Every structure is written in structure tokens, then in C-alpha cells.
Copies of this chain bind each other. A is one copy, B any other.
Amino acid sequence: MRADSPRTAVVIGCGTTGTSVALALTAAGVDVALIDEDPRATAEAVAIGAGAAWTARRPPADLVVVATPPSEVVDTLYSAQSRGLGNVYTDTAGTKEIVSAEAELRGCDLKGYVPGHPLAGPDAPGPDAADAGRFAGRPWVLCPYETTPDWALGTVAALVELCGADRLDLAPHVHDRIVAELSHGPHLVAAALSTRFADSSSAFLGLAGQGLRDAVRTAGGDPWLWSDVLAHNAGPVADVLERISDQLAGAAAILREGDDSAPLELALTLEEGRRGEAALRQAGDLRTTRDARTGRRV
């Protein structure tokens, strides 16, 4: 264990992410205290061994992880710092530019706060889906401020290591553009694709193949959590949606036109899509191969 590894931690927010972080830290021997505004969520996380319920008698923890939805991160951070819950703070919100800027504007103690985002796959909400191995072999983005001291960054880097994840430092706006392309935009596309099926008969839906079910699976995520994430990454997500909307409108126009050149024009788009799918699959295979070599779970 590295010297700056936390020995005590507080996790605020017992959703899938927070509970998974708590499970991973507990498994690594860290003494974890749990807080959630919903006492049932805390109790469920305690029941599956994620840690103990936090009490006011605890001394400040080495590390506090704020695992709330993006719109609640800064208020929660400010309040936790005011109450002196810990020495170093991080969060796990899926957007970073607004969160980082708001923390600064709100007057949070930036010396002790490193914004972060573990890029684990989309899953059902709630602690049932929590898993100590959720972050193993996955990227975990940190967005330190220019002024972040080494001791704070070291503690949060140790958290990433204890969770088995790969640390990747990015500027907040770069992070936000990346997740807009790889996660937030595609999430809304999956939702748009599946709204059509909300009131369809099972006889009709039973004709669908596995490809379609796989294509819309991420749309099963918590609508409230996701709408919060999307609204916090509005510009980059809108860019992605407008591009895809234009592409689909363009393909529809080619089909409506009905020229003899339609198959050729469509094939050019499909060929680019095929190349993109192959590139994405190969990048995933690379990661899987590397993780198999290092014995990490993907």
C-alpha cells in the first residue's frame, strides 16, 4: 500500500457508484463510513458490507468521496468541508467543467478537493448493482486544479489505485467532450430509439433481434440521474445530438429522393459507420487483452 493511501474514508451517496467505491475501499482494508440522505440507502449499503453508517463522533477522515448526482456535488462538498468531515475530498460526477467551476465560485476549499469521474459502465441504479470490482481495469479521470497540492492529489490517486482503476488526468472541458461523445450523446440516442417501443405489443417487440435489444440497453438507466448529467454537460451533448440528427435527416432525405444513386450514397455512410464500429471494437479488444495480461477484470 502506498504511503498516501487513506486509512479512513467517508462515502456520501449510496447509489451504485458510491456503494461500489465503499465496497472496494472496505475490501482494501479502509475503515469506511457511509452517508445518504435516504436512511434506507445507507442501511442497504451497510447490509452488503460496504461500511458502517457515519456518526458525528468520527474524527475527520483521510478521504471523503462525494458520490451524488452532478447537481448536488458542490452543495454536498461545501457542507462536508464546513463540517470538517475529512482532509481530502473528491467526487464521482459524470460531468466535470460545471462542477469544478461551481466549487470554485461557491468558495469550497480547493486545496483539499480533486474532481474525479470513474468511467464504469452504465448499470441499473441503486446499491443492488454495486460491486467492489466495478472500476477494475476501467479509466478513472481526475481533473486537478492548477493549484491542487501533491498531498491531496496523492490521496485521490491512491483511491483510484485501491479501486483497481487506471488514473487519467484531463482538463474538465476535455473530459466533458469525451464523455459527451462516448456516453452522454449515445445515451440519448438509445433513449430516442426506444421511446417508440414504450407502448408496443409484446407480439411486435418479440420480432426484434438481439442487436436491437443491445443497442438500446443503456436507455434502461435512471432517467432522473441521467437528465441531471445531461443538463450539466449541455453544450457538448447538444453538439453530438445535432450532428447525429443531421446525419439521420440526411439519410432520410436520400431515401425520400429515391434516386438511383441512393444505395451508393447510403453505402458511403454505412461504410464509415462500419469502420467506426471496427475501430471501437478493436480499442475495446486491446483494453481487454491488456487487462487479461495484468489479471484485471474488465
Chain A positions near chain B (C-beta within 8 angstroms): 71, 119-122, 138-139, 168, 178, 181-183, 186, 188-200, 202, 204-221, 223-224, 226-228, 230-231, 234-235, 237-238, 240-249, 251-253, 255-256, 258, 262-264, 266-284, 286-287
Contact status A202-B286, CB under 8 Å: yes
Copies in the complex: 2
Interface of A is mostly: helix
A88 to chain B, nearest CB (A): 25
- A263 cross-chain contacts in B, Cβ below 8 A: 71, 224, 227-228, 230-231
Contact (A216, B277) CB under 8 Å given A223-B271, A284-B210: yes
Contact (A248, B192) CB under 8 Å given A231-B266, A273-B216, A281-B213: yes
Contact status B231-A241, CB under 8 Å: no
- A280 cross-chain contacts in B, Cβ below 8 A: 194, 197, 205, 208, 212-213, 216
- A245 cross-chain contacts in B, Cβ below 8 A: 245-246, 248-249, 252
Contact status B255-A234, CB under 8 Å: yes
